[in-house]
A and B are shown apart, each in its own frame.
Chain A
Amino acid sequence: MADRKPGPVIPREAASLRTMTATMAVMCYLACLAIGALILINRAVDNWARGLSQEVTVQVREIEARDIDADVSAVISLLKETPGVTGAEDIGREAAEKLLEPWLGSEGLDALPVPRIIRVAVDQARPPDFESLAADLKQVSPGASLDTHRRWEDELTRMAGTLTALSVLILLLISGSAVAMVIFATRAVLDANRQTVDVLHLVGAEDAYIARAINRRFLATGLWSGGLGVLLALLTFFILGNAGLPQADGLASASRSLFYVPGASVWLVPLALLSVPVVGTMLALVTSRITLLRMLRTLP
């Protein structure tokens, strides 16, 4: 008899907890998707911003009574002599026209004074002084202007900030819903076991003992549902990454890149996803304990 494990003071089979397991699993699944999206957004914006800051552009506009080819050559010579510039290349009139095609169409572009574009590679570690470079370019060619892509970078940063805030908001909403659901489930468990709780009180159990006994149910429920949610999310990312759906090509490569990006930590995503059941369980435990102790205080 001494070796036998005593039965749980709160019965295992509580219908409300079964419902909670399913709903919590969905919440954890959504939280994993939101975390995955958050990581992807941040990585994509980092990549775009890095690409933009590696390059600047110089535009040379045609000015009456000036030879644009000579201006372009002079600008390229100046750029190549500028410290911090690692390369300068005229993309050519054809390529410049191609850039305008989406807005103006291909007809009649020959007649337009299309500016010449010079792609300038910069040393990110020691970038040139852009203000003095812009002034020097004006000296060499009055039609030359420097575009550091600062406006695009700012736009990207703003967009990334908005998307990140949106993901965080989604995570907060999921957490809020989970808290509300745990409170509801705690009340349901306590109501369903009211007779048991009364007997426990009358044989001298303290509120903390009863709360601990009920909390154990929530520990198991939290871990189960969290694990299930993560598994479902991993399965979703795997299917998206390998399904080979042509209409979801971007989604597929994004799902694949979530788990392997050269140079990024391999553990970041798994650790972030694994934090979901841990945080979910902690949330369930703390919420149910606070709710229980509050409710138990109202009993005789």
Chain B
Amino acid sequence: MLELQNVGFRYGRGQDILREVSFRLQRGAFSFLTGPSGAGKTTLLRLLFLALRPTSGRIHLFGEDVTRLPRTALPPVRRRVGVVFQEFRLLDHLTTFDNVALPLRVQGQGPADYSRDVMDLLDWVGLKKQAHAYPPVLSGGEKQRAAIARAVIAKPELLLADEPTGNVDPVLARRLIHLFAELNRLGTTVLLATHDQGLFKQVRAPVLHLQDGTLRTL
């Protein structure tokens, strides 16, 4: 499903953000990615959802070498990956409903095709009543759930989440972790970047620890 071989990354001529990072996630795996702030977690996730290209090493995704994939070949790969951003990255001019439906819209589906699925998912994450609300009026937790709903609406094979519980209270954090576990049970491979060591107790999963740009498995 996902394999990194000696991946290194730096911005321009700056210092290395990631060094010789290698790991593999099997299909259907659930893993945590942890490490102190500035360790390179977000950079690593950005490499995985192909927003950045490594300066060295190779990345294999869905059995394909995506290290130097041409731009035109990126959209089909990205459609198989769901991403929950740390800062949510919801579009403020679209309603919660339209934000969640976005991955399906860009695939060419119309409201008649996706309305029911979107509403069911909004119901599942507890945002049915906020379907018509715009992101600026949502609370941090609601935005987080909307971002998660958008990441999973197209049933991605791989779900990457960057601090998905960073803005919510412990009760909601537990609910969200159960939501990820449920998605994983349904077949989605999940890699969850977090500081929150308390989450490791809720889901038994391998923990990848990133420190000073190098990775080790706990």
Contact = CB atoms under 8 A, between A and B. Distances in A.
Whether chain B is bound by chain A comes out as yes
Interface of A: 1-9, 11-12, 195-196, 198-207, 209, 297, 300
Contacts of B102: 9, 199-200, 203
A204 B75 contact: yes
Interface stretch (B7-15, B111-119, B191-199): B111-119
A95 B9 CA distance: 96
Contacts of B115: 1-2
Find the residue from A7, A203, A206 having the highest chain B CB count within 10 A: A203
A55 to B, nearest CB: 70
A5 B110 CA distance: 9
Contacts of B150: 203
Main secondary structure of the interface of A (DSSP, over half): loop
B58 to A, nearest CB: 18
Find the residue from B78, B93, B118, B119 having the highest chain A CB count within 10 A: B93
A195 B91 CA distance: 8
Interface residues of B, number: 34
B180 interface: no
A11 B93 contact: yes
Given A7-B94, A201-B74, 20 more contacts: A1-B97, A1-B119, A1-B131, A2-B112, A4-B111, A8-B93, A9-B102, A11-B93, A195-B89, A195-B91, A196-B93, A198-B51, A198-B89, A203-B78, A203-B103, A204-B75, A204-B76, A206-B75, A206-B106, A209-B106
Contacts of B131: 1
Contacts of A12: 93
Instruction: Please name the 8 residue pairs, one residue from A and one from B, whose CB atoms are nearest each other, closest first.
Output: A204-B79, A205-B106, A11-B93, A2-B115, A203-B103, A1-B115, A204-B78, A204-B75
6 contacts: A2-B111, A6-B98, A203-B79, A204-B106, A205-B75, A300-B52
B49 A202 contact: yes
B42 interface: no
Interface string B36-75: 0000000000000101110000000000000000011011
A204 B107 contact: yes
A123 to B, nearest CB: 70
A7 B98 contact: yes
Contacts of A203: 78-79, 102-103, 106, 150, 154
Contacts of B103: 203-204
Interface in B74-98: 74-76, 78-79, 83, 89, 91, 93-95, 97-98
A202 B49 CA distance: 8
A114 to B, nearest CB: 83
Nearest to B82: A203
Find the residue from A3, A205, A207 having the highest chain B CB count within 10 A: A205
Nearest to B153: A203
A41 B72 CA distance: 52
Interface string B118-132: 110000000000010
A3 B118 CA distance: 14
Contacts of B49: 202
B144 to A, nearest CB: 16
B148 interface: no
Find the residue from B49, B53, B78 having the highest chain A CB count within 10 A: B78
Given A200-B106, A202-B83, A300 B51 contact: yes
Given A195-B89, A204-B75, A1 B94 contact: no
B106 A6 contact: no
B178 interface: no
Nearest to B51: A300
A207 B72 CA distance: 8
A207 B53 CA distance: 19
Nearest to A199: B89
B91 A201 contact: no
